[in-house]
Every structure is written in C-alpha cells, then in structure tokens.
C-alpha cells in the first residue's frame, strides 16, 4: 500500500517580517500581529501518512481560528522525514532562518526527543503533538515542551485492562525505535505482573514491510496473543500478513496502535475483535461527536483520531498563546501550567505542570466487522475507557517526580535577535 494514498497536502501562508534591531525579547506593538508557527512533522518517511491527516485538520483549525480572532496565525512547515537527525536540522532552520515564534507538531518519538532540547536552548516554546515515548514527559522532559497527545504508558493502561482476557501467553513484535522499546517495556511489565508468559520477542527495523520470517516464528510458538509494539503502516502490514498466515484462526491480535486510517488496508472481518488503544474516537462522547460535526464540514469519509490530534492541538496552542498575551516562550509555558481544557472527550483534559503531559480520557477499541464499519464509518468500537484523572497517575508518581526534578534543573536559553510579539 502506498503512503501517498493517505497524505493530504496544503501550502503554507506567507511569512511575517521581524524587527531585528530591537532588544532581546522586546515586545512588538501593534493591533494586527501575525504569529508564525513552525509546523515540524513527518511529512515524508514512515510516518507521513499519519502526519498528513494531522496537517489537514490543523490547517482547518487555523482557518477557523483566524476567522474569529484579531491575531493572525500562519504555518511555516518543516519535514523531519521521520528521522531524528532531520528533525534537528529542520528545527534549527525554522528557528534561525524562518524566525518562527513557536514550534508545533511531531509524530516520531525519536524526532520529538531531539527537538525538545533544541527548543529549550533556543528559548522557543514547543507543543509536541503525537509522539508516544513516555520519557518525553518523564526523565527527558524539557521546560519549553508540552505534549498534547497521550504517552505510551497511558495507552497501555487501557490495553492492559482488556488484553489479559484474550490470553496470557504473548508473543511481542517490537519495532526498533523509541516508541517500540517503550511500549514493549510497558506491556511486558503488564504481562509479568499478571502472571502471564512471554512466548517470544522479535525486534524488527522501523519501516519493515515483509514480516514473513517473524510470523513463521509466531506460528511455531505457543502464543495465544500476538502483541504489536509498532505503529503506522508497519502495524497495518503486519496485521494484514497475520491474516494471510492464518494466525487469526488460532490466536488473538492486539498492540499499541493500529491506526483507524487503515480501515481499507486491513481485512476487518478477519480481524474483528482485535484490540488496540484509541487516542480518540468520533463515537466516544458528546464532545467527540461535536468535533466530528465540525470536521465533516470540510472532510469527506471517516474521521480519524489523527484529525482530532491536529485540530485539537493547534486550538489549544493558539488559546494558550492568546492567554499569555505574548510569544515569549516562558510566558506561553506558564499559560499551559495546570490548564484544563476541552479536548473533545467526555471529561476535560489538563496540561499538568509537574511533567508537561496532557492527562486525558483514554480508550481501548475492538475492530468491527466490515458491515458495521459501513454503518458507523469507524473501524473500532470503544470497549474500555480510562478517565483523565486515572490515565497517568499523579504528580507523586515516579515518572512525574522524575520529570519535575529534570525540569527544575533546566535553564531556558536566550533567543538572540528575537522580538516577542504582543497578542
């Protein structure tokens, strides 16, 4: 399956001029400021299909916000190619050459881990969008980076409540990158504490398309459940081949992520009942239905959790920038601290100041039949929910304490020749 089938592109707006002669962090006065948002994401490479959905919805949100507000916002795009090294280069380009006011976006955990320290040393606020690696809001948290989407620990919490009922002998397939390693650590711990058995572990490269050798090992094992700790098209290809090998007739399938955008790429009837975490679902709550109605004004076909990420995250960023009244990075970060907001779920989410994680309702979904998908236009049925306040412990949890200690020791860099804008 070609990734281009999932990507929708749009052009960025023209850039606003900066007043380079003003002192550091001077406030540019005026009644019609234009704020430049550096949208850095995986617009090519292994995560490009996911980023394409996020980009489309973020652009729709920005159009809505610009129609209503006095301050104008525009995107300046950067492509990390799904590679952390490229993310480093592009982040510096957006800051130094494009003079963006803030950074936004991110699907790859490796890229997000690379960009956070750059934002900190450069004195630029960064709202990271959808990377899952738990350490981003744990031991590797940074003072100017907040995360809108959930982390792997939050996703596995919903999964852990469901998949133990599917079987207690698990075979893991782990993609060799940050999310894969984190998700394996989280889920193997769930299995161990439940008294289950690990029947096998295969570590595979990111971007792999042929899983024949891995599935042969799975077929020769005593596993009752195949657990995928990969995501994107990798997970879709593996799920499709899982059926081709006939393994769906002898074991269950679950994992950290089989994206809802792949409803046409996998055999739904053969995978019905397979369980995966959902970040959001159009049928999960009244708030979700409200966002779905908004998105359907411009989007035909199924509404995805990646649409939710793009639309909701840019709405939250603009709201907090307006609340701060400036593009100065530390002021924006302070506006995020412990702010509760509508994230189009059942209950409100909160940007927790102690670790910079947005705690939020989380879901587990079971794949539906093709007939049911035809009626609902969504490939999952919500089968479990974890409320926001239970989704990621508290500020006394070990990971939050680790983040708090890390954040307290950091110093925000000074951004040279930058004029903060009054909003």
What pLDDT does 31 receive?
Answer: 52
User: Residue 204 has which token pair?
Assistant: 């595979």
Residue 369 pLDDT > 90: yes
- Matching fold, domains 3-150+285-357+397-413 and 153-278+362-390: yes
pLDDT tens digit string along 90-147?
999 999 999 999 999 999 999 999 999 999 999 999 999 999 999 999 999 999 999 9
At residue 33 the predicted structure's pLDDT band, cuts being 50, 70 and 90, is confident
Tell me the CA end-to-end span of the chain in Å, nearest whole number: 45
Q: What is the pLDDT of residue 193?
A: 87
- The pLDDT score that the predictor gives to residue 165 is 86
Q: Residue 157: which pLDDT band, with cuts at 50, 70 and 90? A: confident
How would residue 194 be classed by pLDDT, with cut points 50, 70 and 90? confident
Query: Cβ contacts of residue 68 below 8 Å, gap of 6+?
Result: none
Q: 253-270: per-residue pLDDT in tens?
A: 999 989 999 999 999 999
Q: Please identify which residue in the block is written with the tokens 């995928």.
A: 228
* Concatenated DSSP letters of 83-127: -HHHHHHHHHHHHHTS--SEEEE---HHHHHHHHHHHHHHT-EEE
**Structure-block tokens of residue 99:** 């003079």
**Going by CATH, does the domain composed of 153-278+362-390 fall within 3.40.50.2300?**
yes
Average pLDDT over residues 300-321: 97
* pLDDT class of 164 with cuts at 50, 70, 90: confident
**For residues 185 and 10, which has the higher predicted lDDT (pLDDT)?**
185
The whole-number pLDDT of residue 231 equals 84
pLDDT value at 413 more than 90 = yes
Q: SS3 string of 306-339?
A: HHHHHHHHHHHHHHHHHHHCECCHHHHHHHHCCE
pTM attached to this predicted model: 0.89
pLDDT at 158: 85
Q: Is the pLDDT score of 214 beyond 80?
A: yes
Token pair belonging to 372: 């049911």
Assign 179 a pLDDT band (cuts: 50, 70, 90): confident
Domain 3-150+285-357+397-413 = CATH 3.40.225.10: no
- Average pLDDT, integer, range 24-39: 65
| Averaged pLDDT, 412-416 | 94
Domain boundaries along the sequence of the chain = 3-150+285-357+397-413, 153-278+362-390
């Amino acid at each position: 399956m070609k990734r281009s089938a999932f990507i929708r592109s749009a052009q960025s707006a023209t850039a606003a001029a900066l007043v380079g002669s003003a002192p550091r962090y001077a406030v540019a006065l005026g009644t019609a400021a234009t704020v430049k948002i550096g949208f850095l994401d995986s617009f090519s490479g292994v995560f490009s299909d996911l980023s394409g959905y996020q980009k489309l919805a973020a652009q729709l949100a920005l159009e809505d916000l610009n129609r209503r507000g006095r301050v104008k916002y525009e995107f300046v795009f950067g492509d990390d190619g799904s590679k952390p090294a490229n993310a480093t280069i592009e982040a510096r380009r957006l800051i130094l050459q494009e003079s963006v006011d803030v950074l936004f976006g991110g699907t790859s955990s490796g890229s997000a881990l690379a960009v956070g320290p750059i934002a900190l040393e450069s004195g630029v606020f960064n709202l990271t969008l959808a990377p899952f690696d738990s350490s981003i809001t744990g031991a590797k948290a940074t003072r100017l980076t907040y995360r809108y989407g959930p982390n792997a620990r939050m996703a596995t919490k919903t999964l852990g409540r469901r998949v133990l009922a599917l079987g207690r002998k698990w075979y893991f397939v782990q993609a060799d990158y940050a999310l894969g390693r984190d998700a394996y650590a989280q889920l193997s711990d769930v299995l161990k504490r439940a008294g289950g058995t690990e029947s096998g572990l295969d570590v595979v490269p990111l971007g792999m398309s042929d899983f024949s050798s891995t599935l042969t090992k799975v077929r020769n094992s005593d596993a009752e459940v195949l657990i995928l700790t990969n995501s994107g098209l990798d997970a879709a290809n593996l799920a499709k081949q899982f059926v081709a090998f006939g393994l769906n007739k002898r074991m269950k399938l679950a994992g950290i992520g089989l994206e809802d955008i792949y409803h046409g790429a996998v055999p739904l009837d053969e995978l019905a009942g397979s369980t995966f975490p959902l970040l959001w679902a159009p049928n999960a709550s009244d708030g979700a239905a409200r966002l779905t109605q908004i998105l359907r004004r411009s989007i035909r076909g199924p509404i995805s959790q990646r649409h939710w990420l793009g639309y909701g995250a840019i709405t939250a960023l603009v709201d907090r920038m307006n609340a701060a009244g400036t593009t100065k990075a530390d002021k924006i970060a302070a506006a995020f601290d412990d702010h509760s907001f509508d994230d189009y779920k059942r209950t409100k989410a909160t940007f927790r100041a102690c670790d910079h994680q947005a705690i939020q309702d989380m879901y587990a979904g079971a794949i539906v039949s093709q007939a049911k998908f035809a009626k609902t236009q969504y490939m999952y049925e919500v089968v479990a929910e974890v409320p926001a306040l239970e989704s990621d412990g508290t500020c006394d949890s070990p990971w939050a304490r680790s983040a708090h200690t890390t954040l307290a020791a950091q110093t925000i860099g000074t951004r040279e020749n930058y004029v903060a804008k009054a909003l």
